[in-house]
Amino acid sequence: MTGAEIANALFVAAIVVYAAAMFAYAVEYAFDRRAPKRAEALVTAGGGDVPEEAPADPPISPAAARGAGRIGLVLTFLGTAALAASIVIRVIHTGRWPWGNMFEYTVGVALAGMVTWLVIVSRGSVPRRLGLFATFAVTMVLGTSVRVYTEAGPLVPALDSYWIIIHVSAAIAAAGILLIGCVFALLHLLKRRYDRQVSDGKPIRFPLNVAERLPDATALERLTFKIHVFAFPLLTFGIIAGSVWAHLAWGRYWAWDPKEVWAFIAWVVYAAYLHARVSGRSAKAWAPWIAILGYAVMLFNLTAVNLVFGGLHSYAGV
């Protein structure tokens, strides 16, 4: 097998392993709860003592569910190692930095997102079972990247610069971290809505009942904020580095290229999120929605701007 074929095989293996990890996390998420206690009270019916019917045992015990979660975490590490190895082998095969096209960029975002999740769960910031949502998001990103797959090859001349290491690596790291931040923002909103429904005594239906096993809404919101606080300087640095590279390559720092414009719009949205988060109570309540909007803008910049709009960045191909 050639280096490119090995890299592709490891890429596919990472997707399969992440999917298996997602299933294992789902088992833990669904069944990792204390087994219902047998009813000990007796009720009197028809003049005699009749034991109250005990709830049925779950199909998977809580201990087995926690074991599935541990397997999910191991699989997540293995999938991340396979994905990283795929990128490294692609680098060795091509002899250049691996961010030369949309496919490679997307794979880098997935790797950064998964590393972010592993750091968070290893620090004990969130329950392990939330890996269900992190692996789902990353698996979707990797699955989407297949549609823009590009054979491993040399960089186009315009990208053959050490600035690709600085600018694109910062952008990829920021996008991967913000992906996990977006996941937690969504979970926070789901839990917040669930708590409100319970408080009002309203029925809980799918998908809202998924939030029953989520951590406290306040904890999710604080983690969302911390993730964005960490990622925002990286995003800022990536945009500034891109401007410096543009000056060196094209003789100007800003050319109102669609990619530049939408990157700046995403930066403004995230700045608005951070401002809303530290403002009054009403603004803070809207902050998670702004964070989600920020990632929607980033996805638009990655997909529509790359595939539909022309511009100075169109030479990168897909």
| Among 30, 29, 121, CA closest to 76 | 121
Dist. CA 146–CA 125, nearest whole Å: 32
| Among 125, 142, 133, CA closest to 21 | 133
Phi, psi of 145 (to 5 degrees): -65, -25
- Predicted confidence at residue 205, as pLDDT, reads 81
Contact 98, 108 (CB under 8 A): yes
Contact 263, 287 (CB under 8 A): no
- Residue where the block lists tokens 């250049």: 96
pLDDT in 10s for each residue of the chain, 318 residues: 788 889 999 999 999 999 999 999 999 998 887 433 333 332 333 444 444 444 556 688 888 989 999 999 999 999 999 999 999 999 998 888 888 888 999 999 999 999 999 999 999 889 999 999 999 999 999 999 998 888 877 777 767 788 888 999 999 999 999 999 999 999 999 999 999 888 888 877 877 888 888 999 999 999 999 999 999 999 999 999 999 988 887 788 877 888 889 999 999 999 999 999 988 777 788 999 999 999 999 999 888 877 776 666 554 445
The model's pTM: 0.88
Cβ-proximal residues to 152 (8 Å cutoff; 6+ apart), any chain: 3, 4, 7, 90, 93, 94
DSSP, res 141: H
| Stretch (H or E) spanning 114 | helix 102-122
* Helices 169-199 + 217-250 axis angle, to 10: 160
- Predicted confidence at residue 300, as pLDDT, reads 92
Cβ-proximal residues to 256 (8 Å cutoff; 6+ apart), any chain: none
DSSP, res 166: I
Q: From the DSSP assignment, how many helices (H) and strands (E) are in the chain?
A: 10, 2
3-state secondary structure of 201: coil
- Predicted confidence at residue 312, as pLDDT, reads 60
| Among 280, 176, 169, CA closest to 231 | 176
- Predicted confidence at residue 43, as pLDDT, reads 34
